[in-house]
Structure formats: structure tokens, C-alpha cells
């Protein structure tokens, strides 16, 4: 059962929502103030029609902003408004909104998330990024979803791509790519606060403040805390002892250095404690700092440079068994990453994109009696480069070909090419096909694990662990089936298309009203006018999905004027 109330003051918004599900109760109170500099993008997004939503720009498929409807890939977008309405309290929970993902909660704090199957205890074939920073850990080729405790109110969208993305993003983008994109600091001005309390999500809060430094620099700072209770075993009702708590704080700064230059600096730090199923407490901590410089040279060229540092620390219990006693293993992982990208419009029909990257990883592992890594200290260097050409063969046909060359210390050089052909069958229809290669490179666990830590071992890694290889053949079709819903009112004296366009007042100019009755032809308008004048109902036989009406005739204007648009409540219900 969900109860919600929304109060909208003049310059702010206060929302109270209560969610009850089974034995768990979630209560949240949030307040957000908007200043005059806030463009109100969230409100604008809620008013978009299905046709307009398909024009939302995405960046994950091509590393370049493009309309969703023109994207030759199986992609879904979870908007910030979707997350807010869902009542999700973590990023992992919000990903349940993507139908092309398999989302499995293993315990109170651990999740298994994958695309196109292969959802195992350590899912390792899905590349996950946040604002260009990879969340994919080289320790075990997975994602620590428990430490991704970002303030959900500041997430702009989550782009979820099914299928390989290795040509642009590199190794481990095998079954898909998740790109979590936060809002610009300019779009999160003012004060925001939320709190939670319940039987499972026991307590928590989130606060954020955004402001301006002069006219060209926007910033925000935030702080979040969540305390989750233990789950219970279904068969016995006993506690799983997996309660956890997480505290995270961070900031973001966006600056327009000039009309063509933009700089972003952002960072986060977190610390948490997690109950370990079977006994013991796991301690996690870490942080990151990212800087990005974007420069538009001309309408034909642009480039960007991104640098980030990420550190993660883990102290985790290893259970006792016949081979080793109980103990704690510790790991400290530091990552330094540099990524450069340049795009050129070579001609009206050909564009070229290329980039270079370097990632340095240092891992320090302290073994427990039951788990070791050999060697305990490891330095890795990963070098990469990619190039991609886009050919506009015809106005409606595009061919994209490219490849990524990557070198790592485990498997050496890996080539990950792709070729993609897309055809705009009609204005709102797209057909595409592609072939690509992607690899999942070995992780530290694959290569260096030793159980127990001291000989004799029952499980060891190996130097001959090769990369997993995927050759993918894909074909897809995307179409907008319609942006209008037709219907008649209860009196049968008027008809109009219900869209998300704003409701006009009764005395609106006839030409504007004809814009609402988009599919009423001149002949239909005459029929509507005649039936309306005679007091007869307007039948559905005069309603078809044709071209916009000709408002030049007096009868057409009269028909549109006599057909008032539906009220906003009716429009919303039909849109939904």
C-alpha cells in the first residue's frame, strides 16, 4: 500500500510519502527549495510526451550525446523522476526499474546484478560507471553495490545498455554497460533534505545544499546515512545477522570557464559496517576525486580530458573450516585513471572519434588464515586506445566501425572491434544490426587466489588464466507506436487528441486549438461542426490518425473552436 501527498509552495517543494510493504514500513520526509536560477527541468520532464521522451539524449552507446530514438542499441533510461516515484533507497534497488537487467538481492547489503543472464554470486561481465568513473573492481571483476550510497535525488538518469560496449569502454563490457549520471550542480540548487525510518530501513537521512560562486560556477555538497536491519531466514525466522550502516559525503563543482570550456570537479568519501552472514563484521571505507575538462574547438571538433583517483579499503571475515580457523582478510585498492577523447567532423558525411587511456592499479592484501593472494602486493598498468569512424551513407543510413586496443598485465593485448549499420526506416522507426567482440579479463582473484593462505592449498589461481571472449551478433528494431490517444467526452459533442500539451483556456485562438486537434482533417472538422450544430453525438467513425488539419476554412475553425480540449486530469489519465 502506498500513500502520498504533495504540497507545492510558491518557491519550494515539500513532499511527504509513506510506503508500507509487508512488515516493512518506510517513511520519508523531503524538502527541496528552488531558486530563480533553477530551470525547473524536473517539471519540464514530467510534461514530456512519449514522442518527446524518445528525444532524450543519451551518451553511453556512442560516447557522444544522441537522441534515444536514434540510438542503434538496446538501451533503457531510468530517469531521476522514475527513481523518486519508485521509492528506491539505493542505486541497486533503483536498477530493478530496468527490464533488461537481472537484479538479485543476496542479503541485506549484497546484490547480484547482470544483463543477458550470467548472474552469479560474483557477477563479472557487466561494466558499471558513474560520471565516467568505473565502479568495476579489479579485485574480483564485480561491483561493490553496498558502497554505492549516492544521494538518489541528485541522480539525473541511469542508462542501461544490453550487449557489448567494449569498443568504446574497454574490457569487461561484455553483456552490457550501466552508466549512472548525476545532475549538474546547476540543476541541484538550494536545500534538499530527506529522512527515513522503518522496521527494515531502520533510519537514515540525506541532505544537500547547492549554490553559486559568481555567475559561472555552481556547486553542491551532500551528506547521507543509512542504517539497514538484518534480514530473516524464511524457514526459521531467525536473523541472518547481516545488518549494515553506511555514511557517505561528497561534493560537485561545475564551472563555465568560457563559452566553449567546461570544468567539473567532484568527489565522495564513505565508511560503513556490515554484518557478515555466518559471523563477524565487515568494515568498508574509501573515496574518490574526479576532474573533467571539456573543450569545444568549433562546431566540427571537441575534446575532453578526465582524471580520477579512487581508493577502497576492506576488512572482511573469513569463516572457519576444516582447513583454516576464523580470521580477517584486509585489502587496500588504489586506482589512478586518465582518459582523453577527441572528436572531429571530417566532412559532412564522415566523423572520427579517437581516445587514449591509462589506468594504474595498486593492490595491497593482508591474508587471513583461510584466504590469501599471491603476491600480496601487486602493481598493474593498463593502456588503451580506441578509434571509431561514422559514415552517413545516405540521409537515412549510417555505418559505424571502430575498435579498442587494450593491454593488461594478465593477458597482454586485446582487440575489441565492432561494426554497426542502422537504417531510419521512417521518422519514428529505426532498424539496426551489428557484430562485435568483447572480453572479460582475469581479476586478481582469478589469477592470484590461494585457499587457505598457507600450503597445502585446496584452491589456487593460475598464470594460464585466459580472457573470456564474446562474439556478439545483434539485430534490433525500435519504433514509436503513437503519441496520441483519441477519445470522446461523455456528452458526445466534442472530440480531441489527448496529448501532454498544455491545456488551453476556452477562448484560445482557433488556430492554436487546431494544433490540439492535430489529426482532424478539414472534412472531419466539417462533419464535427454539422453534428455539433444539429445536437447529434460525434461518432468515432470521423476520427482517424491523419495529417494536421487545415485551419483555413471557416468551418474548420468553427469545429476546432467548438471542440474544447480535454481537461488536464483527463489528459493525464489517457497519457498513462
User: Total domain count for the chain?
Assistant: 1
First to last CA, the chain: 20
How far is the C-alpha of 200 from the C-alpha of 187, rounded, in Å?
32
Is residue 19 domain-resident? no
Peptide bond into 177 cis (omega under 30): no
Is residue 60 domain-resident? no
- 40-46: long-range contacts (C-beta < 8 A, 24 or more apart)? 41/187, 42/80, 42/81, 45/79, 45/81, 46/81
Which ranges of the chain have pLDDT less than 70? 1-55, 121, 482-576
Which DSSP helix (H) or strand (E) runs through 131?
A: none
Instruction: Let me know: does 50 contact 31? Beta carbons within 8 Å.
Output: no
Is residue 524 domain-resident? yes
Which DSSP helix (H) or strand (E) runs through 358?
A: strand 350-366
Is residue 564 domain-resident? yes
Is residue 535 domain-resident? yes
Instruction: Kindly give, in sequence order, each residue whose CB lies less than 8 Å from that of residue 576, ignoring residues fewer than 6 positions away.
Output: none
Expressed as residue numbers, the domain containing 542 is 510-575
Nearest-10 crossing angle of helices 522-533, 554-561:
60
Instruction: Let me know: does 125 contact 174? Beta carbons within 8 Å.
Output: yes
Alpha helix stretches (DSSP H) within 55-162? 80-86, 91-94
**Cα separations in angstroms, 411 against 54, 382, 467, 472:** 41, 11, 7, 21
C-alpha cell at 221: 555538497
- What is the pLDDT, as a whole number, of residue 493? 31
Instruction: Let me know: does 316 contact 328? Beta carbons within 8 Å.
Output: yes
Tell me if residue 357 falls in helix, strand or coil. Answer: strand
- What is the pLDDT, as a whole number, of residue 357? 96
- What is the pLDDT, as a whole number, of residue 63? 73
Is residue 555 domain-resident? yes
Tell me how many degrees the CA angle 106-169-126 measures, rounded to the nearest 5: 15
How far from the centroid of its chain's Cα atoms is residue 195's Cα?
A: 24
Is residue 516 domain-resident? yes
How far is the C-alpha of 243 from the C-alpha of 274, rounded, in Å?
6
Q: Which string of DSSP letters, residue by residue, matches 91-122?
A: HHHHGGG-TTSEEEE-SSS-EEEESSS---TT
Is residue 545 domain-resident? yes
Phi, psi of 260 (to 5 degrees): -115, 0
How far is the C-alpha of 510 from the C-alpha of 527, rounded, in Å?
17
Name the one residue in this structure whose C-alpha cell is 580477517: 328
**Cα separations in angstroms, 285 against 112, 218, 245, 424, 535:** 21, 28, 12, 48, 74
- What is the pLDDT, as a whole number, of residue 389? 96
Instruction: Let me know: does 360 contact 380? Beta carbons within 8 Å.
Output: yes
Amino acid at each position: 500500500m502506498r500513500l502520498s501527498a504533495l504540497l507545492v509552495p510558491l518557491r519550494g517543494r515539500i513532499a511527504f510519502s509513506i510506503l508500507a510493504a509487508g512488515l516493512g514500513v518506510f517513511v520519508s520526509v523531503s524538502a527541496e527549495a528552488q531558486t530563480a536560477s533553477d530551470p525547473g527541468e524536473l517539471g519540464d520532464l514530467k510534461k514530456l510526451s512519449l514522442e518527446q521522451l524518445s528525444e532524450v539524449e543519451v551518451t553511453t552507446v556512442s560516447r557522444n550525446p544522441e537522441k534515444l530514438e536514434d540510438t542503434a542499441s538496446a538501451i533503457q533510461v531510468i530517469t531521476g523522476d522514475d527513481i523518486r516515484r519508485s521509492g528506491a533507497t539505493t542505486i541497486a534497488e533503483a536498477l530493478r526499474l530496468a527490464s533488461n537487467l537481472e537484479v538479485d538481492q543476496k542479503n541485506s547489503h549484497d546484490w547480484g546484478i547482470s544483463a543477458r543472464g550470467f548472474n552469479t554470486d560474483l557477477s563479472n561481465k557487466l561494466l558499471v560507471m558513474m560520471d565516467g568513473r568505473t565502479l568495476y573492481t579489479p579485485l574480483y571483476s564485480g561491483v561493490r553495490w553496498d558502497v554505492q550510497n549516492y544521494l538518489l535525488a541528485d541522480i539525473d538518469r541511469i542508462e542501461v545498455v544490453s550487449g557489448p560496449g567494449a569498443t568504446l569502454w574497454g574490457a569487461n563490457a561484455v553483456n552490457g554497460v550501466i552508466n549512472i549520471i548525476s545532475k549538474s550542480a546547476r540543476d541541484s540548487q538550494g536545500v534538499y533534505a530527506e529522512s527515513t525510518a522503518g522496521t527494515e530501513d531502520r533510519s537514515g537521512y540525506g541532505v544537500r545544499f547547492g549554490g553559486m560562486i559568481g555567475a559561472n560556477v555552481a556547486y553542491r555538497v551532500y551528506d547521507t546515512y543509512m542504517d539497514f536491519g538484518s534480514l530473516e531466514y524464511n524457514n526459521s525466522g531467525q536473523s541472518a545477522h547481516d545488518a549494515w550502516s553506511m555514511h557517505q559525503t561528497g561534493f560537485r563543482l561545475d564551472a563555465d570557464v568560457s563559452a566553449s570550456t567546461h570544468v567539473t570537479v567532484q568527489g565522495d568519501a564513505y565508511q560503513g559496517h556490515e554484518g557478515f552472514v555466518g559471523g563477524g563484521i565487515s568494515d568498508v571505507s574509501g573515496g574518490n576525486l574526479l576532474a573533467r575538462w571539456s573543450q569545444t574547438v568549433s562546431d566540427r571538433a571537441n575534446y575532453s580530458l578526465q582524471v580520477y583517483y579512487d581508493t577502497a579499503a576492506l576488512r572482511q571475515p573469513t569463516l572457519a573450516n576444516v582447513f583454516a580457523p576464523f580470521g580477517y582478510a584486509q585489502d587496500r585498492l588504489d586506482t589512478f585513471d586518465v582518459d582523453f577523447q577527441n572528436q572531429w567532423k571530417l566532412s559532412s558525411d564522415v566523423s572520427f572519434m579517437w581516445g587514449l587511456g591509462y589506468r594504474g592499479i595498486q593492490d595491497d592484501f593482508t591474508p587471513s588464515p583461510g584466504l590469501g593472494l599471491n603476491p600480496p602486493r601487486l602493481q598493474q598498468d593498463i593502456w588503451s586506445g580506441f578509434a571509431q569512424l561514422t559514415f552517413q551513407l545516405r540521409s537515412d543510413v549510417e555505418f559505424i566501425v571502430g575498435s579498442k586496443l587494450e593491454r593488461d598485465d594478465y593477458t597482454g593485448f586485446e582487440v575489441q572491434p565492432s561494426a554497426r549499420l542502422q537504417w531510419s526506416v521512417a521518422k519514428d522507426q529505426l532498424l539496426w544490426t551489428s557484430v562485435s567482440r568483447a572480453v572479460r579479463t582475469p581479476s586478481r582473484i582469478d589469477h592470484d587466489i590461494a585457499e587457505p593462505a598457507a600450503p597445502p592449498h585446496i584452491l589456487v589461481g593460475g598464470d594460464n588464466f585466459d580472457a573470456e571472449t564474446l562474439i556478439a551478433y545483434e539485430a534490433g528494431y525500435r519504433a514509436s507506436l503513437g503519441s496520441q490517444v483519441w477519445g470522446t467526452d461523455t456528452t458526445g459533442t466534442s472530440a480531441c487528441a489527448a496529448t501532454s500539451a498544455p491545456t488551453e483556456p476556452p477562448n484560445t485562438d482557433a488556430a492554436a486549438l487546431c494544433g490540439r486537434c492535430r489529426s482532424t482533417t478539414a472534412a472531419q472538422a466539417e462533419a464535427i461542426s454539422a453534428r455539433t450544430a444539429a445536437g447529434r453525438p460525434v461518432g468515432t467513425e470521423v476520427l482517424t490518425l491523419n495529417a494536421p488539419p487545415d485551419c483555413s476554412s471557416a468551418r474548420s475553425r468553427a469545429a476546432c473552436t467548438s471542440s474544447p480540449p480535454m481537461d488536464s486530469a483527463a489528459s493525464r489519465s489517457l497519457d498513462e
